[in-house]
Amino acid sequence: MSSRSHLPMAAVALSLASTAFAHEHHEQLSEEDMNKPVDAILWIHIFLQMAVWGVLFPTGMVLGMSKSRWHIPLQSVGIALTLGGYILGHSHGGRPFLAGIHGTFANILIVPIFLQLALGIYLKLHIHEETIRPWVVRLHGVVGKAYPVFGWVQMLFGAIAFRGYCRGDNLGQCLAHYIMGGGFIAYGTIMAIMLLVGEAWIRRSRRSPEWWDSWIIMLWGIVNTFTEHHGGGWSHKDMQHTIMGVLWWAGGLLGILLARNNQRTVIPAVIIIITGWAFSDHAQAMMISTRVHATFGHTLMLAGVVRIVEVSFIAPKYAPLPADASSTDDDHSEHTLADAPASGSSPLYQSVKAFRHLPPFLLVASGVLFMSATDEELRFADQELEMDHVTYILIMFSLAFLIYALIVSRINLWATSGRNAASSTQAAGAIELAPTTKWYSRVPAGDTEIEAHVIGDDE
């Protein structure tokens, strides 16, 4: 029997084995159970899975996208370690935990893990090159790119399970904070990707970034308009959250109209500013909650302000392309660093690049602050840890710095590894291109020559 046929059997065997020695999950816990210490095995499980899903798997995904030879070894190590962590998570002693989504999702994650392993083995065999293999390549890429999302969600579920949060009446608030906060972090991540390596894709799409932003804001607003009120009387929070949805879909619609024909617009940034202002003045039951929500709102407002500055004055603008370039660049399907405009070393260029990190970082910081602003989290910090709002907010900003550092380092790894390594070396010595009115203009095709100038030289 081939090694491929053993993979499903191995998955079933692992599930059965883990069930055999799994610790019992409880529906209710006493105060004594809640105060039991966490043993070393569980701490190893926590930090091991954080390292694998938060660092190792995203790094392996990036190396796979850049076709690096280190992709397979790294992902293989990650799969071995995460299965070991899975076993540790079901064999620890000490403090018991309530049954919840973290354990259920851990079992679900076995499917993409072994699916990705099976797809990788199939691709290494190099069979069915003209029929099945192209589809397997796409599926392998989709599953691999979902790993960071899987890891983020499961680590969040783990934190919830560790503290026993988000049960009963607290579930709705958890969903609102974690979904919206995670949305801001995802928004900042995508913006960072576009700023650092994604401008070629934006030019190919023939759409300005704000066109995409406006669509997401409008659709999110439509959903929010009809999901915030659940019958009965209207509270102040119901009214505010519902009208916030109306604000988003109305503003998003305007943004779509203004961003048509590849035009830049500041409407998404204005919506972000108004949203931040609304949350900064949102009534809260605890003083620490009021302060954290206010800081979240002010951070979000600042993100919108610097986004307006970036769109209006800072966004790089590259040389116009010859007319014949527009008819041939669609033939290029590979998105590598060579497609991106040449980078420069002038002080002006470097200061522009530095400023453009502000909007995505502030969005990430806003998301972290909002995810940490549930009543249960703030009550624990205020009453049990006796922590003031300044210390709590500084911890959240520190976490935001770490998350954004991980985001930027993975983006830079993609740009300098595998097939992109040679392109990044060539781009390092290239001179800058003259500014024009559209930084997202189409990518030049082939050997098209573009007149080069230093940024800021209008002559």
State percent of the chain over pLDDT 70: 75
Sign of CA dihedral 170, 173, 179, 181: negative
pTM of the model: 0.80
State percent of the chain over pLDDT 90: 50
**Per residue in 9-52, pLDDT tens?**
334 333 433 333 344 555 566 666 666 788 888 899 999 999 99
Tokens found for residue 41: 């095995």
**Per residue in 284-336, pLDDT tens?**
888 999 999 999 999 999 999 999 998 888 765 433 334 444 444 444 333 33
The closest of 194, 145, 160 to 411, measured between CA atoms, is 194
| DSSP helix/strand/coil, 38 | strand
Q: What angle do CA 191, 196, 197 make, to 5 degrees?
A: 100
- If you average pLDDT over every residue of the chain, what do you get? 79
Q: What does the pLDDT read at residue 441?
A: 42
Top pLDDT among 110 and 94 is at 110
Residues 346-362: b if buried by 16+ CB within 10 A, e if exposed: eeebeebeeebbbbbbb
The residue ranges of every structural domain in the chain are: 1-164, 171-459
Where is average pLDDT lowest: 162-176, 212-226, 227-241? 227-241
The pLDDT of residue 146 is above 60: yes
Q: What does the pLDDT read at residue 382?
A: 92
The C-alpha atoms of residue 40 and residue 45 are separated, in whole angstroms, by 9
Give the confidence band of 439 by pLDDT, cuts at 50, 70, 90: very low
Q: What does the pLDDT read at residue 26?
A: 53
Q: What does the pLDDT read at residue 113?
A: 93
Q: What does the pLDDT read at residue 200?
A: 79
DSSP alpha helix (H) spans, 197-286: 199-205, 209-225, 236-258, 267-280
The C-alpha atoms of residue 256 and residue 172 are separated, in whole angstroms, by 31
Give the confidence band of 91 by pLDDT, cuts at 50, 70, 90: confident
Top pLDDT among 283 and 334 is at 283
Mean pLDDT of 343-354: 62
**Per residue in 162-199, pLDDT tens?**
888 998 888 888 988 999 899 999 999 999 998 888 87
Top pLDDT among 282 and 44 is at 44
Q: What does the pLDDT read at residue 425?
A: 58
